[in-house]
Amino acid sequence: MSEKVPDPGQMTDAGVLLAVSGLQVHFPIKKGLVFDRTIGHVRAVDGVDLQVRRGETYGLVGESGCGKSTFGRAVLRLEEPTGGTVIFDGQNINGLGREQLRLTRRRMQMVFQDPLASLDPRMSIQSLLMEPLKTHGLSEADKAEFGADSPSSHLAKVASMLEVVGLPRAALAKYPHEFSGGQRQRVGIARAMILNPDLVIADEPVSALDVSVQAQVINLLEHLQDLLGLTYIVIAHDLAVVRHISDTIGVMYLGRLVEEAASDDLYARPLHPYTIALMSAIPIPDPVVEDQRERILLRGDLPSPANPPSGCRFHTRCPFRQETRCDTEEPVLRELVELAPGRRVACHYAEEILSGAIGVADAGLVVEPSR
Ligand SMILES: Nc1ncnc2c1ncn2[C@@H]1O[C@H](COP(=O)(O)OP(=O)(O)OP(=O)(O)O)[C@@H](O)[C@H]1O
């Protein structure tokens, strides 16, 4: 039986659709051909707390390998969490049995980065869009519009969905390889939306697309959000992609959230050194400003999530690092209410960075002009 969470602290707010606390996903590292021994764990997600409000878009960003996709998959329980809880609309999904998980899954859908890999190439667009309806049936709202579950009501819903995502009816008889990348992503989006979900997790939805079609797909996601009252988590490695679509942004580093803020606040004043570095890498369209800008280069590669650095996980690459404390003491993700409600930063020196007491000139920053 699922655990229906009555009203524990964080869930007092009915505006919260998703509450994740202490989420961990650790993958075992195996060795040996005959006797499979576990010699360690990749701590892909290592204690993430966040909440997503109904109707909002939460952008989750960070470098490749920091655990964003694993986080998204664990929220949908496509990956079994090692620890922590995921509470979706008041229900703890970790405790759900098979049938309840199936019922909940229709309310939580995923849009993938590479639609060609996620859409079965042997299935026509019609079959691809009919399949979720065969498994789960029409939503109650769609039954009122298209009639009780039947092949003809399903087909009517599919045709209507196709129109909503901007594809012609003739697309029904075609196969994924016959479309451009942007059109294929429209099919992927139609498939995710066809069950009228509440939460959609879009994992790098535009990073495989040409820059010219990225904006169209982002606009489509925004249009569907308004039309269907959706809540989004949009995962991206590129801060520029999530900037305009997100209400709130969370920045992940090595399995942890290091900063979270309302989108405008984060862009106006990034506080975590990692966010500051990521932000400095976003190109500015104005060539004069871009030319004069200083860009912070991060030292080295992302450390292994199997063996994260001691103290602050970011200290080995941090341009603001202060000796001893950063190397030994792990900062907690704390709320800086004096700055803005909901602003959370996991850095010992966030106040000093905010006040300018610690700045670019201090800690041997690796700074280079952008050109
Ligand atoms: N099934 C798995 N088994 C073992 N390790 C895994 C597995 N899935 C992911 N990882 C590891 O977990 C870490 C986080 O991966 P994840 O894909 O979640 O990161 P990401 O930030 O989404 O990066 P990307 O954008 O490249 O997908 C990486 O080190 C990755 O190699």
pLDDT digit string (tens) for the chain, length 371 residues: 344 444 444 445 789 999 999 999 999 988 877 667 888 899 999 999 999 999 999 999 999 999 999 999 999 999 999 999 999 999 999 889 889 998 998 999 999 988 778 888 999 999 999 999 999 999 999 999 999 999 999 999 999 999 999 999 999 999 999 999 999 999 999 999 999 999 999 999 999 898 889 999 999 999 999 999 999 999 999 888 898 899 999 999 999 999 999 999 999 889 999 999 888 877 666 666 556 566 677 777 889 999 999 999 999 999 888 878 999 999 999 888 777 778 899 999 998 888 888 765 444 444 444 33
Cα–Cα distance, 44 to 24 (Å, whole number): 8
- Regarding the beta carbon of 70 and ligand 1, being less than 6 Å apart is answered yes
CA dihedral angle for residue 191, residue 194, residue 198, residue 202, rounded to 10 degrees = 20
Gap between the Cα atoms of 9 and 149, Å rounded: 40
- State how far the Cα of 292 lies from the Cα of 126, in Å rounded to an integer: 52
Note the pTM of the prediction, 2 decimals: 0.90
> By CB neighbour count within 10 A (0-12 exposed, 13-18 middle, 19+ buried), where does 159 fall?
middle
Give the pLDDT confidence score for residue 298 in this predicted structure: 76
The ipTM assigned to this model is: 0.97
Cβ(256) – ligand 1 distance below 6 Å? no
Query: What residues form DSSP beta bridges with 29?
Result: 40
Closest ligand 1 atom, residue 204 Cα: 25
Measuring from atom 18 of ligand 1, which residue has the nearest CA? 67
Cα 222 to ligand 1 centroid, rounded to whole Å: 27
User: What is residue 204's predicted lDDT score, i.e. its pLDDT?
Assistant: 94
Give pLDDT, residue 4: 44
Token pair listed for 291: 């030319």
Q: Rounded to the nearest whole angstrom, what is the distance from the C-alpha of residue 158 to the centroid of ligand 1? A: 34
Ligand 1 midpoint to CA 127 (Å): 31
For 231: left if phi > 0, alpha if psi spans -120 to 50, otherwise beta; the answer is: beta
How high is the pLDDT of residue 3? 43
